[in-house]
Amino acid sequence: MNNIYVYDQELSGRRYQKLLEQLETRLTDLGIGGKIYRLGPMTRLEDMAREELARHPKTLVAVGGDILISRLAGLMTGSKIPLGVIPIGKSMVADAFGISLESACRTLAARRIIDLDVGRIDNQQSFVCRAVIEANNPILVLDNDLNVSATGKVIIEVVNVMGDEYGYRGAQPKADDGRLNVYILKTETGLLKRDISQSAFVCRKLLIKSGLTKIEVDGGIPLAGAKEIEVVPKIFSAIVGKDRKF
């Protein structure tokens, strides 16, 4: 059983070379070194992950940002192999998991593993943290039962887990509660000030009946559209820090 480290394509630049060398030394010192995959323009993450997961590695570690973490998490759903995270740059997922660049190696060595939910869009694209939807006069149905409509241009955030930036009214998102938090945000402009009015719901399934104009997940993966977003409870395992936000 081996650890697999998947390096984000962006890390191939020279400016990360020293940092990566330091990381590798630290991982070796902790006895958790492993095989390294450097993603390039010609590498398909899906093929690599499928191949490696079939060999049952001890851990698959995403080294990079949220897009890589989210894509790997989506590919690892259903397997019992835990996802590890070494965040390079700002990462919502790592933040929610209580992992910083400084603490990442120690966290990986400690192997605090928990089962987590993911959000899934149209039974295809998964997300760990959130989907952000821009919409105009949207009509939503929550849990097949509750019709929710909003007037005007709004941002809808469908959140599985959130890091430090969580500051909304309503239930706090938890990645292991089998539910998604839905926030509808609207900017109200007055003569002198701008207010953001906010609505908050929790649900297992969200149907977008109309009004969607744009959607992206986990900080940057754009999607062509979305009709149904649902939570898939405790479908993947991850190594989290002791300061996780849920």
Partner 1 sequence: MFNKNASVGKDGIETVIGPSVKIEGNFVCQGGIVIEGEVKGIIKTAGFLEVGEAASVIADVGAKEAKIGGEVRGNIKIEGYMEVTSSARLFGDIEAAFVSIARGAVVKGKCSILGSETKTSKSNGKQKEEVNQDSHE
Q: Would you tell me which residues interact with partner 1 (CB under 8 A)?
A: 142-143, 145-152, 154, 168-174, 177-179, 184, 186, 188, 197-203
- Cβ 46 to partner 1, closest distance in Å? 34
Is the backbone of residue 22 left (phi > 0), alpha (psi -120 to 50) or beta?
alpha
- Cβ 206 to partner 1, closest distance in Å? 12
Q: How far is it, in rounded angstroms, from Cα 244 to Cα 176?
A: 12
- Cβ 64 to partner 1, closest distance in Å? 30
- Cβ 97 to partner 1, closest distance in Å? 17
User: Given the complex with partner 1, which of 109 and 202 has the nearer CB atom?
Assistant: 202
- Cβ 144 to partner 1, closest distance in Å? 9
Residue 159: in which H helix or E strand, if any? strand 153-159
User: Given the complex with partner 1, which of 30 and 171 has the nearer CB atom?
Assistant: 171
Hey, what's the torsion of the CAs at 50, 53, 59, 60, to 10 degrees?
0
Nearest to 6 by CA among 77, 67, 79, 60: 60
Tokens matching residue 214: 């744009």
- CA atoms lying within 13 Å on the CB side of residue 28: 8
Q: How far is it, in rounded angstroms, from Cα 132 to Cα 218?
A: 8
User: Given the complex with partner 1, which of 28 and 149 has the nearer CB atom?
Assistant: 149
User: Given the complex with partner 1, which of 149 and 213 has the nearer CB atom?
Assistant: 149
User: Nearest 5°: phi and psi at 239?
Assistant: -90, 125
User: Given the complex with partner 1, which of 188 and 243 has the nearer CB atom?
Assistant: 188
